[in-house]
Amino acid sequence: YCKCKHQSRRISTSHVTDVMTALRDAWRSRGSCSHGTLEADSSPFPHCVIRNFLRDEEFASRLQGALLRQPFHSKNTDLYNFTQVHTDMSVLFGWFRLWLSDLLDLELEPTVDVSCAKYQHTDVLLCHDDELEGRRVAFILYLVPPWQPSDGGALDLYSTDGVFCPACVVKSLIPCWNSLVFFEVSPVSFHQVSEVVAEDKCRLSLSGWFHGPSLPRPPRYIEPVLPRQKHLPRDESVLYEWVSDVYMNLEQQVRVQQEFEDSSEIRLPNFLKEEKLKEVISALQLAEIHWDRSGPPNKRCYEAADLRSVPDSVRSCWELFCSEAFFLLLSNLTGLKLHTLANDPDSEDDEEDEEQATSSAAIKKDGSTAVCVGEIRRWTRGCYTLLHDSDNREFALDLLLTLGCSGWQQDFGGFTSYVAHGEDEELLTVLPEENSLALVYRDTDTLKFVKHVNQRSSTHWQQPPRSFYDFSITYYE
Peptide bond preceding 218: is omega within 30 degrees of 0, i.e. cis?
A: no
Question: What domains lie within the chain, and their CATH numbers?
Answer: 2-211 (2.60.120.620), 237-476 (2.60.120.620)
Instruction: Report how far residue 364's alpha carbon sits from residue 381's, in angstroms, rounded to the nearest whole number.
Output: 44
Q: Peptide bond before 227: cis, by omega within 30 degrees of 0? A: no
3-state helix, strand, coil in the chain (%, to 5): 25, 30, 40
Q: What is the pTM of this model?
A: 0.90
In 286-436, the DSSP E strands lie at 291-294, 300-305, 371-379, 384-385, 396-403, 416-420, 426-430
Beta-bridge mates of residue 268: 437
What is the per-residue burial (b if ≥16 Cβ within 10 Å, else e) of 297-317?
A: bbbbbbbbbeeeebeebbbbb
The full length of the chain comes to 477
pLDDT values of the chain reduced to their tens digit, one per residue, 477 residues: 233 334 444 444 444 467 788 888 888 888 999 988 999 999 999 999 999 999 999 999 999 999 999 999 999 999 999 999 998 888 889 889 999 998 888 899 998 889 999 999 999 999 999 887 789 999 999 999 999 999 999 999 999 999 999 999 999 999 999 999 999 999 999 999 999 999 999 999 999 999 998 888 888 888 999 999 999 999 999 999 999 999 999 999 999 999 999 999 999 999 999 999 999 999 999 989 999 999 999 999 999 999 999 999 999 999 999 999 999 999 999 999 999 887 654 554 444 444 444 444 444 445 578 999 999 999 999 999 999 877 778 999 999 999 999 999 999 999 999 999 988 789 999 999 999 999 999 999 999 999 999 999 998 877 666 899 999 999 999
Look up residue 77 and give its amino acid.
T
Q: Name the residue among 61, 62, 68, 12 with its Cα closest to residue 37.
A: 12
- Reported in sequence order, the residue ranges of 380-462 that DSSP labels E, i.e. its strands, are 384-385, 396-403, 416-420, 426-430, 437-442, 446-450
Rounded to whole angstroms, the Cα distance separating 201 from 17 reads 38
